[in-house]
A and B are shown apart, each in its own frame.
Chain A
Amino acid sequence: MVAAFAVTLMVGRTFYPPGDVLRVVLGEQVPGASFTVGRLRLPRGVLAVVAGLAFGLAGVTFQTMLRNPLASPDVIGISSGASAAAVVGIVLLGLDGTSVSTLAVVAALVVALLIYTLAFKDGVAGTRLILIGIGVGAMLTSVIQYVLSRAGQWDYQEALRWLTGSLNGTSWTTVGPALVALLVLGPVLLGQTRNLAALQLGDDTAAALGVRVERTRVIAIVAAVGLVAFATAACGPIAFVSFLAGPIAARIVGPNGSLLVPAALVGALLVLVADLVGQFALDTRFPVGVVTGVLGAPYLVYLIVRTNRAGGSL
């Protein structure tokens, strides 16, 4: 991850050697490099890391808590909530900047609450929540498309960012809120590591181990949704990062122990690498979300096919 981050800073239309990059990061003035690296690439790289960590952490929290790999916030409509609100804000209300981000964060929380309430019946069962989430997500996607179809040329460009997720045009002001959210909510989630591990054994077992089940669940949901919302507000819903980070981390470190930190790191790595690929691997530049989407979609199909074979119930 560190290597990918370094490469992000070095590579671009002009290549800067590691020495120059390091000096810029340390605050020195280097002709040319200071602007390109300091103003353009550094925020972009930092946001990639912050968003990746946030998406990875939030995704694996949901997947662990609901005991289902399909239960990541980008599959169950929470990211769509943030996107839909942002698009409505930009196109219909003419908002920009911070107000769009705020709106996106609030919308993500409201959508999460809505899904949770709709799914609540003698406690929340994972499958019901996932199906309702996918439904809500589909509704929100159609809202996004309707709004986009009425958007003007300029708004359309800006709003598109909220559909695919992109790190283009990142500045320090976009990074700020997401970074703060990560610094506040990240530790909150890490503090729940043990409770989440107990919750994996079933609600009754967890309660018998002294976990306050509903309290843990509410803390984890609010923190994870907050992370997703702020990260989405900064760079759009980078497709499937939340969804992929946990399973990939599980493959790497094995099923034992907590996946929170590994998944967060995998998330950051995914975003960094996908952004590099999107920018430089092909003739056309793609936003980062397109690349992660290409990776994530087949895995989603694979998971659904596999669960169907295993007996039809998600």
Chain B
Amino acid sequence: MTSTHSLVAEELTLAYGERTVIDGLDLAVPAGRITAIVGANASGKSTLLRSMSRLLAPRAGRVLLDGAAVHRMPAKELARTLGLLPQSPIAPEGITVSDLVGRGRHPHQGVFSRWSREDDAAVAAALEATQTTELAERAVDELSGGQRQRVWIAMALAQQTDVLLLDEPTTFLDVSHQVEVLDLLTDLNAVRGTTIVMVLHDLNLAARYADHLVALEAGRIHAAGAPGDVLTEDCVRAVFGLASRVIVDPVSGKPLVLPIGRHHAAPSTAGAVAAEV
């Protein structure tokens, strides 16, 4: 069941007007795994994700899904394989959860075709997977932040794509809801084999949940690979300009980044850091 779709960026250059955001980037997304993209603000994370889902046309290079350039594929055909949850989607006033999730069926429907049993089944499955079934008749604007995010993920699930891109799915959520959303995505990956690519702000959550970590620095890939290999103190300094300690997370065994500000270094580590810097 695991997704086998290959998603590759080749010498990708992206720009808004005069400003080049991504510069000649090569990236291969491992099929059926969870990839997290991390990087400082304005390092091009979201831009890269937008381009991989054809929202932004490349200045040079290309994005290939199963060998075909995504910017040349028919829009609906692409949307049946690759889904994207943008950073701040808009819920129309008063819309109910089930209607919102149902709109994820768009790429599977013709212009005048009727709502089908398949559509119903997909929506029901999406609601169940995100544990939002009991919210189905509620209005989206009444929900809590965590519930709302689960509903948006349900909409993306109803689209039934084998590849799902998410732009900061945990923003604005408190820590328990962040973990809840990431657990949900992990389930999705484990059960359906969905290839997941997400932009994350929190390095430690990224390290914990990703199989493959991509660290972006000013539009280029600084390092990519297993979180244990990528997330080193040197990497954090290069990518974020931040001195840190990286230890082994006692909970997950993945790397855990402890940032060092100017005020809080304990005497024993301060010397080590000073020596490093």
Contacts and interface: CB of A to CB of B under 8 A. Distances in A.
Given A204-B55, A256-B95, A209 B103 contact: yes
Interface in B34-72: 50, 53-55
B106 A207 contact: no
Interface in B179-195: none
Nearest to B83: A208
A197 B103 contact: yes
B32 to A, nearest CB: 21
Nearest to B100: A201
A194 B114 CA distance: 11
Contact of B111 (A194, A201, A202, A209): A194
Given A191-B111, A202-B90, A256-B96, A208 B76 contact: no
B92 A67 contact: yes
B228 interface: no
A67 B90 contact: yes
A254 B94 contact: yes
Interface in A103-148: none
Contacts, number: 76
B125 interface: no
Contact of B95 (A202, A208, A255): A255
Interface residues of A, number: 21
B181 to A, nearest CB: 17
A31 interface: no
Contact of A209 (B79, B90, B98, B112): B79
A260 B176 CA distance: 41
B76 to A, nearest CB: 4
Given A198-B106, A212-B75, A255-B96, A207 B54 contact: yes
A205 B93 contact: no
Nearest to A191: B111
B99 A256 contact: yes
Interface string B90-120: 1111111011100110110101100000000
A210 interface: yes
A270 to B, nearest CB: 22
| Overall SS of chain A's interface | loop
A267 to B, nearest CB: 20
Given A194-B109, A194-B111, A198-B106, A208 B86 contact: yes
A36 interface: no
B89 A209 contact: no
Contact of A211 (B93, B94, B106): B106
B85 A208 contact: yes
B149 interface: no
A200 interface: yes
Contact of B91 (A191, A201, A207): A201
A257 interface: yes
A127 to B, nearest CB: 13
Interface string A66-89: 010000000000000000000000
Contacts of A200: 90, 92
Contact of A205 (B86, B107, B109): B86
Contacts of B94: 250, 254-255
B245 interface: no
B148 to A, nearest CB: 13
A255 B102 CA distance: 14
A198 B43 CA distance: 30
Interface string A195-221: 001101110110111111000000000
Contacts of B76: 210
A201 B103 contact: yes
A209 B106 CA distance: 6
B159 interface: yes
Contacts of A198: 103, 106
A210 B79 contact: yes
Contacts of A67: 90, 92
B78 interface: yes
B112 A211 contact: no
Contacts of B99: 255-257
Contacts of B84: 204-205, 208
Contact of B89 (A191, A194, A204, A254): A204
A254 B139 CA distance: 11
13 contacts: A67-B90, A67-B92, A200-B90, A204-B84, A204-B86, A205-B89, A207-B53, A207-B75, A209-B103, A211-B106, A255-B93, A255-B96, A255-B139
The 5 closest A-B pairs by CB, nearest first: A210-B79, A255-B94, A208-B84, A204-B86, A210-B76
Given A207-B53, A210-B79, A255-B139, 7 more contacts: A67-B92, A191-B112, A200-B90, A207-B75, A208-B53, A209-B106, A254-B94
